Chain A
Amino acid sequence: MIHEEENREAGFLRPLVNAYSTLPLHGITAIPGKISGALMVADAIEDAVPLIHGPIGCSFQRKINPFRPYLPFYETPCTDMNDLEVVYGGEDKLRMGIKETFEKYHPNLIVVITTCASDLIGDDFKAVIEEVKAKGDMDCEVVYTTGDFTEKSKPVGYQDALYAIADQMLCKGMENERTDKNDGSVNIVTFPIHGAGLKVEEMASVLKEMGIEINKVCFDHTRVEDLYDLPKAELTITDYPMAWARLMKKRMDVDYFATVRLEEYRDSRDAELLSPYGIEGSARVFLEIAKRLDKEGEAEDVIERRKKEANERLSEVRKELEGKKVAYTGMGGLHSLEVMLLQDMGMKASVIIYNTRGLERLLSEDAIQEVLDITLEWARKYGSDPEVLVNPTTEGEIKAMKRTETDLAVVSSLTNAVYEFNKEGIRTFNPLDFMLHHQRIGFECPVELAFQLKDALKKPKTRNPLLCMLEYDTCRTNLIPHWAKLADMFAILREGAIGDMDRAAYLK
């Protein structure tokens, strides 16, 4: 796995990652299947090997990693299921395949990933694996993931593979066993899809200063033996609610805490819970973790001191940002920089752009309105009175930015025609780049953001972007019409109702 080391990031990896970041794929024109998510897990464990129980295409095609297209999954052995197995069953091939995979790769864990073909023919994966393991001639763990363990938790393959490891390996037969605990310690488990997810040094440092020990950080050169140490912690910190973490709580008494607190938000509708970033967001997260471990007393002092240090550093740069007018796309806090822009930088929201196309088929009208309301309320809370543009054209966006004398548009090419803004003299800052490479919980992150925003305000102007030569869709303004059609069709065809309709009626 390639890790983004600080010294290499600007020169090599960052542009590489960015080159693939505008691919309009995830939920826009396609959805990666469960195998890709499961392969992310197997790939993140250094001494694990996947075994795809299915035909060659499920192996070869999935070598292309949709989450990180620049980094294929190089090892994807499969059982090479053909039509004979589809008729007579593939259990023999799976049995032999597991043994052969062990002999060939000598892993400490084999993650069997089932496929459409093996799922549908009803192979008894569990029985095969138990039988192979019972023979005792393999010094290796074997788990299987079908995508069915975690229901609608997304991404399915990723959630399901982690759940399978917890269920079939870490928690197996442990319900009545007492695990040696590393008292007062936490696991930090981040989603390896998120570029900056592995940057947890500051979080670990703050927690340690509070008297909280770090049991394990996953997935960072993680090996199977590290996974076995996970139940020793008192608390697992994840970035999103994870089914496997819930299972660990139920079976192994390891509590969990998701930094993006979707579950709590559902009850309280407190939008702050969706934004763990920035100085106040990070402080809230650290305090909450401390509370769970009865370390509030120690935590308050540490947090206050760290906040003070960060604010002192920030105040110098903030002078140049305060009051500057920014336009941005509203996402209701999730993944978003907006709270940091308003709260930490003291910038003013001049224009909020809200693109609902595609969302309309995934979310209810109320849900879409809720996200818009969160964005708008935040802006107002911090003293802004922005223009709100819902599904605007590029021309509409430019007019609004000029009218409001916007200093900086915080938009990416994944959502907007950035080059058209530049052509009109509007400077831009790429939030996607920041999200992929910098955004994380901690007090350093807003300081980094401040420096980058300061640079963006001074960036030389680009006047004649070649990308402006192309014709773009009037609605999905970052896409050429061809891709916009694919996106529109994808949204319609994925709609739940289609599958439930009577075929005959549909064919009319």
Chain B
Amino acid sequence: MQLIPCPWCGPREEAEFHYGGQAHVPYPDDPAALSDEEWAHYVFFRDNTKGRFAERWNHNAGCRRWFNAVRDTTTYRFESVYRLDHPKPVTP
């Protein structure tokens, strides 16, 4: 089974984790000013990247903390993991 390196707990089996969708989707600055279409884009519309994709993961069988990971969607390889308060790492 693939191991996912939790930023807190270290490498654990992927069955301990839960997927949380695309990372770095900012909450609207002025939510009241959004049109229905803009809300729909914020709530439902996500990138469908082939290749490296920054996404959120939750270590729900361990420390139950959210973190971000850059994963290659074609190979399922985790390129890097980083805490929520850290910026997205620059990958070559």
Are A and B interaction partners? no
- Residues on B facing A (Cβ under 8 Å): none
- Residues on A facing B (Cβ under 8 Å): none
